[in-house]
Amino acid sequence: MTDLSETSQVRGEVKGGLLNRWSWRELWHGQLWPVAAALTIIIACVFSLAALVVRVEKIMVEQGRSMIAADLVFRSANPIEPALLERAAALGLTESQQVRFGTMAFSDEAMQLVSVKSVGDAFPLRGELQLEGPDGMRSRVAPGELWLAERLLGLLAVEPGDTVAIGDAELAVSGVIRQEPELSFNPFSQMPGVIIHADDLGRTGAIQPGSRVQYRAYFNGSDSQLEQLQAATELAPGQRWLSETSQGRTGDVIEKARQYLSLTLVLVIMMASATLVLTCSHYVNTRTDTVAMMKSLGAGRKWLWQWLARQLVMLFTVAAVVGGAAGYGLEFLLRLPLKDVLPAPLPAIGWTPLLISMLVALLVALPGLGIPLWRLVDAPALAVLQRELPARSDRRRYGLLVLPVVMALWFAGGNSLVWLTLVGISGLLVMLAGMGLLWVAMLRQVKWGAAMQLAVSRISRSPLATGAQLAALTSSLMLLAVIWLLRTDLLADWQQTLPADAPNVFALNIADDQQGAYLAALDSAGVERSDGYPVIRGRITHINQKGLLTTEGNDQAGEQDESLRRELNFTWRDTMPIHNELLEGTWGGRQGVSVESGIAERLGIGLGDSLSFSVNSQPFSATVTSIRKVEWRNMRPNFYFIFTPDVMAALPATWLVSFRVEAGQDALVNQLGRDYPTVSLLDLRIMATRIQGIMQQISLSLSVLAGVGVASGLLLVMTLLRLSLAQRRQEIKLYRTLGASRKRIAATVWGEYGMMALIAGGMAVLGAEAVVAALVKWGFELPLRWHPGLWLAVPVLSLLLVVVIVRSMIASLLEPLKG
């Protein structure tokens, strides 16, 4: 009995060893290696893309948070409630506080209105604070210290060690503020900055009932801790959370970059999955005879599944090892163009990219391999004799789609951008397939030569198959174009947001009798500047005699739009600013006002409406003559309301001008400060350089990611063409049997695939323009752009791919027919 047991065990081991060797040979010498290659590509692409996304997103978040000096900021018009700080402490968050207010600074020689920040020992929690004193550089503020913006030294005529009074407190000047982590973009609300320690706040006596004060609490911690704190805090009027995505220009850039990263990852997974499904389907078609033969020799379903399972285990093992290594190497290559802008050391990627790539590969392979292989196992034994005999239909195999679909829905979640893309592409594919068939029908009406006539006949013989093939080829080219066009539109928008020649210094509070000489001084120095703008602050009070403000200063409209709760900056001009765009109406006239499109939409203002305003308690009215589009992020002087000169020219105003100071012109800013001590100079050079650096970093990252997406699309297109040509072998054999020459067959193949490439390329352009227009308008909220270069590039690219694939395969297609 023992001998029989041992003999059975030995036979099992021998049988298992033979089955393993057979499975290994089948993997590499059969038709399964393209499936292994496709799975390897999925793992490598998803790993490299996910790793780069993790790094880039961490860098973007780090840069964004350094601009708010913490991971999360709570801003309030009232003192921070102890309950909030207690909740933060209970969650294990690091905390720091700040109080901001405006007051007068007095020296022995002069006085100046300043913006004071009172900070704690830990400030800043993120970013870098650079303070330069006689003893060198510092990064923290100590009790009893007073740090001034550099221009305050000239305005107050003081040096380090001199005494300056901030309210009731007299403090010795410790040095100069060289760099602050917090960035602000509104030149109209800027005053020279002063930093003191929180322990000295009470000594100033500057905070009295009715004072305009802003309180801030800064928090550092994990994302989950920060989310818990926000969820447990109910915001009152005048309170707001600030994060890296809510900080104007940089927040908008970071949020759009995140959207593009997630969308690109989804599209790359879609294209790589399609490649896997196509290669697996081709494998099943080529192995149907083998399975039918094994069934005719007595192989059962269980044995076939064991045979295939061994191959799949080997396949996944090889794909995981090779794909993981290739993905790591590809991620390194993707970082090479970014080496000059990425920080050192790089953020760690952890295990997330590898886990994501493996999970994606498994979810894609579950239906992509499972459904075709299930169909292969169900192939009847009689298929050896009758190839077209259908396999047993088992609808249970489609249950393999459930888990991947559920996971895809969970991943997409509330991402409207991904849903918009998927729905749009699905609808377009049906429409484009119909358009392709219409084009084919039109081609049939044209008289061609014999080879081309055969090609047209071949395309139109099976409308369903042709429509599916055109839809697949078109969708591949379309996804490729969508990835690249979105990248192009985003970069174009960011370049417009902060171009290389953007102003980096603002001069404010220029007296009317100084503005001519001030502009002349800039012109004589060869500085690129804006026009001079007269500026006066006031409020909008009525629209068509309907009041906007109640006696308390707030109403429903005010709750909807912050512009009604504060004074706005008004100006007047004969001509429209060159960086504004006229949307409606005409410029000029008398008693007129031009309104920015955003506030016009929010407040329901239209052409011909009568608006009432108040400046220094003086009411006046104007009629809306035009609506303008304003790009608020371009660091140029911009205004909600621009009046015709006759409306406000008699009112006293100061002047504003922006200009750009290049490297080597630092002395000019200092000289202007000495020559015009009453003019406020807002130097944004450090801030602009930091923002441009972040944008350059993100732009290069998106370009690299777009390159990965385009490569995935090209791989899918080439796979489609190769498999389609491989399926033509039987037809070509039939044509040769009927006497067709090699030359005519080659011409037919070239004509067929050339026409399909042109049709698919043209439809892909239409589809890409439609998808990108929808994403740009409703997803990224960017201006619509047409891409004329795309109309030539995509059809030419599809033709080139056809040339490459057909030339590489045409000889092998005809070679078996020699003799």
SS3 readout for 231-259? HCCCCCCCEEEECCCCCHHHHHHHHHHHH
Residues 631, 456: Cα–Cα separation, whole Å: 52
Provide the pLDDT confidence category of residue 595 given band limits of 50, 70 and 90: very high
Q: Position of tokens 């550099």?
A: 150
Residues 58, 68: Cα–Cα separation, whole Å: 16
Asked if 181 and 124 touch (Cβ cutoff 8 Å), the reply is yes
Q: Residue 247 pLDDT > 60, yes or no? A: no
Asked if 785 and 493 touch (Cβ cutoff 8 Å), the reply is no
Provide the pLDDT confidence category of residue 555 given band limits of 50, 70 and 90: very low
What crossing angle do the helices spanning 450-460 and 416-444 adopt, rounded to 10°? 130
Position 13 in a domain:
no
Asked if 417 and 482 touch (Cβ cutoff 8 Å), the reply is no
Q: Residue 559 pLDDT > 50, yes or no? A: no
Q: Supply φ then ψ for residue 324, to 5 degrees.
A: -65, -45
DSSP letters for 684-708: -HHHHHHHHHHHHHHHHHHHHHHHH
H/E segment holding residue 523:
helix 515-524
Best-predicted range by mean pLDDT (333-342, 554-563, 785-794):
785-794
Provide the pLDDT confidence category of residue 818 given band limits of 50, 70 and 90: very low
Q: Residue 88 pLDDT > 70, yes or no? A: yes
pLDDT digits (tens, 9 = 90+) for 98-137: 998 888 888 888 888 788 999 988 899 988 888 999 988 9
Q: Are residues 696 and 735 in the same domain?
A: yes
What 3-state class would DSSP assign to 351? coil
Q: Are residues 666 and 760 in the same domain?
A: no
Q: Position of tokens 């899918």?
A: 716
Lowest mean pLDDT among 178-192, 317-331, 535-549: 178-192
Position 2 in a domain:
no
Residue of higher predicted confidence among 555 and 143: 143
Position 560 in a domain:
yes
Position 762 in a domain:
yes
Percent of the chain with pLDDT over 90: 13
Which of 371, 361, 269, 272 lies closest to 317, judged by CA? Answer: 361
Query: Counting runs of H as helices and runs of E as strands, what totals does the chain give?
Result: 22, 23
Last residue of a domain, one of 218, 243, 268: 243
State mean pLDDT over 716-727: 69
pLDDT digits (tens, 9 = 90+) for 13-31: 445 566 667 666 666 655 5
Asked if 97 and 217 touch (Cβ cutoff 8 Å), the reply is yes
Residue of higher predicted confidence among 341 and 674: 674
Residues 97, 83: Cα–Cα separation, whole Å: 14
Asked if 76 and 194 touch (Cβ cutoff 8 Å), the reply is no
Lowest mean pLDDT among 104-108, 599-603, 616-620, 727-731: 727-731
- The pLDDT value recorded for residue 16 is 53
CB count, 10 Å around CB of 463?
15
Asked if 775 and 428 touch (Cβ cutoff 8 Å), the reply is no
- The pLDDT value recorded for residue 7 is 40
Amino acid at position 652, single letter: P
What 3-state class would DSSP assign to 621? strand
The partner residues of 620 in beta bridges, in order of sequence, read 613
- The pLDDT value recorded for residue 175 is 93
Q: Which residues have C-beta within 8 Å of that of residue 463, sequence separation ≥ 6?
A: 437, 440
- Residue 551 has what DSSP assignment? T
The partner residues of 173 in beta bridges, in order of sequence, read 146
The bridge status of strand 610-615 relative to strand 533-543 is antiparallel
Q: Residue 774 pLDDT > 70, yes or no? A: yes
Percent of the chain with pLDDT over 70: 70
Residues 549, 766: Cα–Cα separation, whole Å: 50
Which of 587, 605, 586 lies closest to 596, judged by CA? Answer: 605
CB count, 10 Å around CB of 676?
18
Q: Are residues 264 and 202 in the same domain?
A: no
Position 8 in a domain:
no
Range of the domain at 91: 69-243
DSSP letters for 598-613: HHHHHHT--TT-EEEE
Asked if 206 and 116 touch (Cβ cutoff 8 Å), the reply is yes
Q: Are residues 670 and 728 in the same domain?
A: no
pLDDT digits (tens, 9 = 90+) for 201-228: 888 887 766 567 889 999 999 888 999 9
What 3-state class would DSSP assign to 104? strand
Residues 785, 439: Cα–Cα separation, whole Å: 27
CB count, 10 Å around CB of 708?
21
Q: Are residues 273 and 384 in the same domain?
A: yes
Q: Are residues 84 and 219 in the same domain?
A: yes
Residues 87, 236: Cα–Cα separation, whole Å: 17
Q: Are residues 671 and 772 in the same domain?
A: no
- The pLDDT value recorded for residue 197 is 93
Asked if 597 and 630 touch (Cβ cutoff 8 Å), the reply is yes
pLDDT digits (tens, 9 = 90+) for 444-491: 666 666 666 666 666 666 666 666 666 667 777 777 788 777 777 777
- The pLDDT value recorded for residue 3 is 45
Q: Are residues 186 and 156 in the same domain?
A: yes
Which of 598, 605, 604, 562 lies closest to 581, judged by CA? Answer: 598
Which of 406, 308, 304, 426 lies closest to 363, judged by CA? Answer: 406
Q: Are residues 149 and 195 in the same domain?
A: yes
Residues 758, 764: Cα–Cα separation, whole Å: 10
Angle formed at CA 132 by CA 129 and CA 135, multiple of 5 degrees: 125
Q: Are residues 670 and 722 in the same domain?
A: no
- The pLDDT value recorded for residue 91 is 92
Would you say how long the chain is, in residues?
819
Last residue of a domain, one of 389, 410, 431: 410
Count how many domains the chain has.
4
pLDDT digits (tens, 9 = 90+) for 682-710: 777 766 666 666 666 666 666 666 676 67
Provide the pLDDT confidence category of residue 557 given band limits of 50, 70 and 90: very low
The partner residues of 216 in beta bridges, in order of sequence, read 75, 98
- The pLDDT value recorded for residue 607 is 92
In the numeric block, which tokens belong to residue 787? Answer: 């891409």
Q: Are residues 360 and 495 in the same domain?
A: no
- The pLDDT value recorded for residue 97 is 92
Q: Residue 800 pLDDT > 70, yes or no? A: yes
- The pLDDT value recorded for residue 108 is 86
Which of 521, 492, 500 lies closest to 635, judged by CA? Answer: 500
Residues 757, 470: Cα–Cα separation, whole Å: 9
- Residue 79 has what DSSP assignment? P
Q: Residue 572 pLDDT > 60, yes or no? A: yes
State mean pLDDT over 625-632: 88
Q: Residue 84 pLDDT > 50, yes or no? A: yes
Which of 642, 645, 643, 644 lies closest to 629, judged by CA? Answer: 642
The partner residues of 613 in beta bridges, in order of sequence, read 540, 620
Q: Are residues 610 and 736 in the same domain?
A: no
Helix ranges, 2-117 (H): 2-29, 33-66, 82-90
Asked if 212 and 567 touch (Cβ cutoff 8 Å), the reply is no
For the chain, the average pLDDT equals 77
Angle formed at CA 708 by CA 704 and CA 713, multiple of 5 degrees: 140
Which of 662, 615, 671 lies closest to 643, judged by CA? Answer: 615
State mean pLDDT over 618-644: 87
- Residue 398 has what DSSP assignment? G
Lowest mean pLDDT among 258-272, 316-330, 541-555: 541-555
Residues 87, 109: Cα–Cα separation, whole Å: 47
